[in-house]
Structure 1
Amino acid sequence: MRQCLRAALLGGALLLAGLPGGTHAQGTPSPAGPSAGAPAEAPLQVREIGSLHVGGRVAELSGLPSREIVYSPGAPPIRLDPNGQFQVEQMYAQYVRLQDPRARYPLILAHGGGLTGVTYETTPDGRPGWQMLFLRAGHDVYVTDAVERGRAGWARFPEILPGEPVFRTMGEGWGLFRVGPADGWNIEPSLRRAFPDTRFPAAAWNRFMRQGVPRWTTTDRQVQAGYDALVQQVCPCVILVHSQGGNFGFTAALNAPDKVRAVIAVEPSGTPPAGADAARLRGIPHLVVWGDHIEGNPFWTNIRANVGRWQARIREAGGTADTLDLPAQGIRGNSHMLMMDDNNAEIAARIQDWMARQGLMR
């Protein structure tokens, strides 16, 4: 069974190997959408596609001044009163449920900071994302937008969301996401310097940056409440989280160990506090996945050390906390955005193998 699943996951990548942008991140990216010339795969047998919002609360504002606005050109002006009740702090998820899933539990895909569930859809250079790859591997898949992101919606700030949003520049992520050295960023694409072995489709960087959205640094409590509400509504489940989402996934498992069957953290940037009871996770296997170019990067070196200590605590409590270190396995050049790199299908296959070994497939 595992060999069949691996073949299904890797098939898309192998078919794309000869297409522009399919083999090396520095090449010309393939256009967004299905890859021309690739043999058609068997259609997915989908039972249901839908979406839901979970969690949140009603907030009430008062004492704010009203003003006159025009909603559309040519429409008459209307007086806007910003006072009243607002539905806020909800989380969004889109689900695709298969006719005959081979996984025992649905798979939740949760994004990182300044991003949305688009992370897992189509890659910036037009290849299938992890949503499609894990559907083909037999999972029902939920792709999420966390509180204050994407289709989850915003709220007024600072009246409801404390503080103000943070916006990522185009150049910040170049070094932070380890596509290239921080000083390799240039607004002119031909002058950008990526790592020679980068697996990220660097020529599609501008397309990737279209996915960026504002984020807050003051809303962890509200975001965690959204994750917890989602777990209560759709689980038992497996949670796959990325970057900022890592700590939310770890904590969701701590908060509902009866609902979460496994946690897969792709380059998580945070961990639960020192007082968290790792023994609650004894029956929940954890996998942490790391890409390349971490050594020598103080930010990521410190993060990896913190995550390693959290994994050690899980193991000391009798739990499973495995690590998929791609460079240690001879797979070089992966960025922070592993699910978008040109070997994203191979990485998904390795994650799929781990899930099968944990007994999460039928």
Structure 2
Amino acid sequence: MTSEPVRVGDAVWPGTNAYVQWFVPVDPRPVSVLFVHGGGGQGSDFVTTPDCRPGWVHRFLRSGYATYVLDRPGHGRSAWNDNVLGPAVPASNYHALYPRFVEPAQHRLWPEASKHTRWPSDPLAGDRFMASQGPMAVTLAASQLHVEAVAAQLFELTGPTIIVSHSMGGPCGWALAAIGGDQVEAVIAVEPLGYPRMVHPLGTFNNGMVTTEYRGRHDPFARPIALVTGEATWMREANSRAADYLRVKAPTFEHFLLEEHDITGNGHMLMGESNSDEIADIMIRWLDRVLARDLR
């Protein structure tokens, strides 16, 4: 998917573009699932775990959902081009990410970090995770604008869909829902970044769950919404504030604090941790309930 080519001087490049991979079962449900990755990650975060198990894509696929995996513009299989997307924050290094994703219990940068036990035991899992991390936009507003530019073509592919977003993909998910309108049946925000008036190095959340105005004309919260938070993540307080906001905005809302469902020890990278299938199953059961209710 790409917007109009961009000309700078005598050079012409493809416009804002994104890569989408999809998997469709033999007899799919009438609604698909769209996965929106976070930060400097990529769509492959949902396809395979860092210890090489099938990821959430395959769990949803086995439950009958066609799954669409987005590499946001400038991420994964959609290469970053400063001339089109603007400047980028360089890819993070081991020192920045290991204490937050791979080894929280060793570094204890936040109170719940000591509970982290779910990073895969495969000794190469951390290296594989780091290899997947690339650059990202210098502002959250730019990241939002990038996905908004490809949204119309994206929804042509997915048809009626459920957005499953993660971390910095959370604001992008809300922006997509504002464009998709009735095509977006539900949103599952997995440890989404942001809450109203949150100050972040890449922007202040001056527009509820995003930092800037939406290009879409629809209410992004006018559908069932679930928020998922791990026991050992640094996102717990921020997610609690987001839940307070979403509980008022959404017609149906549920905040899954995983330890309350006997799923313990999880950090921020829920789709890649050792019990990722259990977490996917909670989300699938919730969708079965809310979508069946909406169809009655």
Please say whether Structure 1 and Structure 2 have the same fold, judged by a TM-score greater than 0.5: yes
* C-alpha separation in 2, matches of 1:268 and 1:282: 14
Q: Which residue of 2 aligns with 1:150?
A: 76
Once the 2 structures are TM-superposed, how far is the Cα of residue 226 of structure 1 from its aligned partner? 2.4
Partner of 1:108, secondary structure, is strand
Once the 2 structures are TM-superposed, how far is the Cα of residue 141 of structure 1 from its aligned partner? 0.8
Q: Is the 8 A contact 2:88 2:135 kept in 1?
A: no
Q: Is the 8 A contact 2:227 2:243 kept in 1?
A: no
Once the 2 structures are TM-superposed, how far is the Cα of residue 342 of structure 1 from its aligned partner? 1.1
Q: Which residue of 1 aligns with 2:159?
A: 235
Code of the aligned partner of 1:56: S
Code of the aligned partner of 1:243: S
1:211-270: CA deviations, max 9, x gaps? 111112232212332245412442211111111111111222122221101111111113
Q: Is the 8 A contact 2:229 2:236 kept in 1?
A: no
Runs of 5+ unmatched residues, structure 1: 1-53, 63-82, 186-193
Once the 2 structures are TM-superposed, how far is the Cα of residue 282 of structure 1 from its aligned partner? 6.3
* C-alpha separation in 1, matches of 2:292 and 2:12: 43
Computing the radius of gyration from Cα coordinates, the structure with the larger value is 1
* C-alpha separation in 2, matches of 1:335 and 1:237: 27
Once the 2 structures are TM-superposed, how far is the Cα of residue 184 of structure 1 from its aligned partner? 6.8
Runs of 5+ unmatched residues, structure 2: 196-204
Report the CA distance shift for 1:262/1:160 in structure 2 as closer, same or farther (over 3 A).
Answer: same
> Are positions 1:135 and 2:61 aligned together?
yes
TM score, norm. by length of structure 2: 0.82
> Are positions 1:201 and 2:120 aligned together?
yes
Once the 2 structures are TM-superposed, how far is the Cα of residue 147 of structure 1 from its aligned partner? 0.6
Q: Is the 8 A contact 2:2 2:14 kept in 1?
A: no
TM score, norm. by length of structure 1: 0.68
Partner of 1:287, secondary structure, is strand
> Are positions 1:124 and 2:25 aligned together?
no
Q: 1:1-362 maps to which residues of 2 (within 5 A)?
A: 54-62=1-9, 83-101=10-28, 103-155=29-81, 157=82, 159-177=83-101, 179-181=103-105, 183=107, 195=114, 197-201=116-120, 203=123, 204-218=125-139, 219-220=142-143, 221-270=145-194, 273-274=207-208, 280=219, 283-294=222-233, 297=234, 300-315=235-250, 319-359=251-291
Q: Which has the higher helix share?
A: 2
Code of the aligned partner of 1:100: D
Q: Is the 8 A contact 1:257 1:284 kept in 2?
A: no
Code of the aligned partner of 2:273: D
For these two proteins, the number of residue pairs brought into alignment is 271
Code of the aligned partner of 1:304: N
* C-alpha separation in 2, matches of 1:57 and 1:181: 47
Which 4+ residue blocks in structure 1 deviate beyond 4 angstroms? 194-197, 275-279
Aligned CA RMSD, in angstroms, stands at: 2.8
1:46-102: CA deviations, max 9, x gaps? xxxxxxxx242311111xxxxxxxxxxxxxxxxxxxx3221121111011112112x
